[in-house]
Amino acid sequence: MIVDYTGQQFGNYRLTRRLGQGAFASVYLGQHIRISTQRAAIKILHLIDVDINKFQQEAETTATLVHPNIVRLFDFDLRNDVPFLVMDYAPSGSLFARHARGTRVPLATIAQYAEQIARALQYAHNKNVIHRDVKPENILVGPNDELLLGDFGIAVISRTGRTTLQASFGTGGTPLYMAPEMFKGRPEKASDQYSLAIMVYQWLSGDPPFTEGDAIQLGFQHTFVDPLPLREKVASIPLAAETVVMKALAKDARSRYSSIEEFASLLSSALTNSAKLTPSPESNRPRVQLGQSPADTSNTKSDKQWFNEAETARQAKRYEEAIKAYTHALDLNPNYALAYHNRGLAYYELRQFSNALADYGRAIAISPRAATYYINRGNVYHNELKDYEKALADYTKAIDLEPDDAFAYNHRGNTYCALKQYNKALTDLNRAIALDARFALAYSNRGLVYYELKDYTHALSDYQHALQLEPKDAFAWNGCGLVYYELKQYEKALEHYNKAIEINANSAAYYLNRGNVYHNQLKQYEKALADYGRAVELEPRYALAYNHRGNTYNSLKQYEKALADLNQALILDPNLSFAYGNRAYALEMRKEYQRALQDYERALQLDPANTWARESRDRVARLIKK
């Protein structure tokens, strides 16, 4: 009988609830007893005959595995001879939950999955660590949708003690995914390759090759029975992909690929190049119905087949193609909520926001308890329509449905920041980080809140922490630039803006911020004009970019060009006080004092604390009196 440790303390963590359990361990959500914002996954191992010294030695080895696609182990200990591991908590679940048995995964997605998992395993293999239990349950989903390989603790288990399964069968691992040599107690690096190949087989066909019987019967099948060729299960699977997978499933480990990285690379090429393969023989083609042209096969596909085609197209960023395939799926199944939702994602990428909103709404009407649907609809309201109240309503609904959803707290916190409700923003972002300590975007967004509060020390700390977690987070590089600008460290600000633009060359805001350094501090007006011009190209309705470029023309005494840009800025945003002040200055320089006075007055109405506008208004008023 497995003991329930809920409520008890292990190390510095109190176990608040059990997340799951298996033959080898139970996993609990742990709350740090002194740091209220810190949570972790506590894995309590089910061991008998444990060798404590070996446990410590192997746990120390496992703790050295630091990789972007590996769940971090940052502590371990024993409590009353019960060994436990303290690991990062990934609240987004696992691939087991994302792709249930019996469902197929798009080819492009499989390629991405295999590459990430193989990178993690190759890193471990280079350190002579074998995972021994590669399976969908142990592949977690990180905050940025990256994969995190968890449960390297099986390496500890298999060498320091025995589980119930080992006691009866002399092995360690999960029989559905175990290599033949594992059943003989002789795991090697190629065993992990075999397990990954089993997962790929399942994602391609819907099920693992062997599913019937107990551990002994499964062991016999893995050791002596050849798996059914993939194309006999699903004829549309690319021949090249079948060839790669079947080699990785060789009974003899020496007949597999020389490394798991080689396997993943060849698999990715086979899957991503599948569209270029020769068409199937005539005998394998669908029968053509009376009145149906030979090219028309739409009536032969199921809603799920159309959905999988759509997913493959969307992952490859072929959004219009994806939308057509989702629509075919929905024609066959009008209650297919996920198809509506994912078609909404494709519309969003095409910036067809009204269509995206309509599809998210349909998905919610069919599945009103799907938190993700509310989050993505909220993203349209927040990011594109600036309808923050509707965004708040959707994010709050998502939190009601999934109280431990770090993404929902992050997004709602970001919306509170946009509304300048900074205390509420901090509360939500702290909660997001407590739920997922590796959530780089939450640190970046909290950094923005601190920046708005002029708490530059905490802002810089959060942005830098985000970059440690995600070095290619352009938003965090830009945030560091903003802070360094306020600290008058302009060269550092430029360095960080340059990095943000290098990562994301399509963000108008990053060019605007770099232009500010060139204009305001370095007086390099031509460079400033180039950056503001690029911002306008990227966002033709970006009022601030027109304002800043107009101000730069003022500095160059090119007042006609300045007026053209400042007029455009005020057409786009009639309440932009800076633009009134800058236009007033251009008019003043042209000796159009009455119009200049009106603009200075309007600038002060919008921003009564603008001392420059007040002094300029008074100066122009004196000139008029003369």
Catalytic annotation, residues: 133
User: Six-digit token pair at 122?
Assistant: 């190759």
CB 325 within 8 A of CB 307: yes
Secondary structure of residue 177 in the 3-state scheme:
helix
DSSP secondary structure, 459-518, as one string: HHHHHHHHHHH-TT-HHHHHHHHHHHHHTT-HHHHHHHHHHHHHH-TT-HHHHHHHHHII
Give the number of C-alpha atoms closer than 13 A to the C-alpha of residue 494, restricted to the C-beta side.
Answer: 13
Residue 224's contacts (CB-CB under 8 Å, 6 or more residues apart) are 251
Listed residue (21, 47, 74) closest to 437, CA to CA? 74
Q: How far is CA 309 from each of CA 106, 110, 207, 251, 352, rounded to the nearest angstrom?
A: 7, 13, 19, 33, 21
Secondary structure of residue 102 in the 3-state scheme:
coil
Tell me the H-state helices in 280-405. 303-315, 319-332, 337-349, 353-366, 371-379, 388-401
Give the number of C-alpha atoms closer than 13 A to the C-alpha of residue 231, restricted to the C-beta side.
Answer: 15
Phi, psi of 540, rounded to the nearest 5 degrees = -60, -15
User: Six-digit token pair at 446?
Assistant: 């909290």
Residue 170's contacts (CB-CB under 8 Å, 6 or more residues apart) are 185
- Cα separation, 387 vs 188, in Å, equals 56
- Cα separation, 142 vs 72, in Å, equals 12
- Cα separation, 305 vs 326, in Å, equals 10
> Strand pairing partners for 234?
none
Q: How far is CA 23 from each of CA 172, 221, 378, rounded to the nearest angstrom?
A: 10, 21, 40
Residue 481's contacts (CB-CB under 8 Å, 6 or more residues apart) are 492, 493, 494, 495, 496, 497, 500, 513, 514
- Cα separation, 430 vs 439, in Å, equals 11
- Cα separation, 169 vs 63, in Å, equals 28
Listed residue (412, 387, 414) closest to 399, CA to CA? 412
* Residue 412: count of CB within 10 angstroms of its CB: 28
The enclosing H or E element of 22 equals none
Q: What strands lie across the sheet with 73-79, from one edge to the other?
A: 9-10, 13-21, 25-32, 39-45, 82-87, 73-79
Look at the alpha carbons of 154, 159, 165, 171 in this order and tell me if their dihedral is positive or negative: positive
